[in-house]
Amino acid sequence: MNSPKRIVLGVTGSIAAHRAADLASLLTKQGCDVRVVMTADALRFITPLPFKTLSRHPVITDLYDEEEGWKPSHLRLADEADLLLVAPATAHTIAKLALGLADDALSCVALALNPKAKMLLAPAMNGKMWQHAATQQNVALLKARRVEFIGPEEGMLACGYEGIGRLWPVEKISARALELLS
């Protein structure tokens, strides 16, 4: 019997962070072993409790969180991951990943990610931020490193603007994540 696929779900500071709880639930129901890492900014939008309950695992909220054993949590997750899925992925997080900055648990997992694992980013941000040349340059750099993107989609944004920037539907993010794992 195959062991379940391990997905590290990174949740960042976007109004769409609450939708990541539905994503964690969908992936867990599909038989994936979901481990959630939340940035400090994500904690301003949603607490770890829904993720802990839905994934059935502790949630990493700080670089120095320790679950068990001797290996730092972020390195253990990076070693064991089959997929790093960041949803929502903010402009800030995309920039950090493009530049290789590692100053929190999520960015450290990304930088230490085992070479066999895949990375999927689901952006969610203001449309002007998404279309800014710096963000597009960071996206192009990450794509050149074989990082996959899903979204964003167009529609009414939380900021009141109409346009591109909405988180892709969680059902479609889940489906793409499962495709990448098959």
pLDDT digits (tens, 9 = 90+) for 67-79: 666 678 888 999 9
- Mean pLDDT, to the nearest integer, of 18-43? 97
Q: Flag whether pLDDT at 8 surpasses 90.
A: yes
Domain residue ranges of the chain, discontinuous segments joined by +? 6-181
- Which of 40, 49, 156, 159 does the annotation list as catalytic? 159
Q: Flag whether pLDDT at 66 surpasses 70.
A: no
Residue 163's pLDDT is 74
Select from 3.40.50.1950, 3.30.565.10, 3.40.50.300, 3.10.150.10 the CATH code of 6-181: 3.40.50.1950
Q: Flag whether pLDDT at 82 surpasses 90.
A: yes
HEC assignment per residue over the chain: CCCCCEEEEEECCCHHHHHHHHHHHHHHHCCCEEEEEECCCHHHCCCCHHHHHHHCCCCECCCCCCCCCCCCHHHHHHHHCCEEEEEEECHHHHHHHHHCCCCCHHHHHHHHCCCCCEEEEEECCCHHHHHCHHHHHHHHHHHHCCCEECCCEEEECCCCCEEEEECCCHHHHHHHHHHHHC
Q: Is 108 a catalytic residue?
A: no
Residue 74's pLDDT is 85
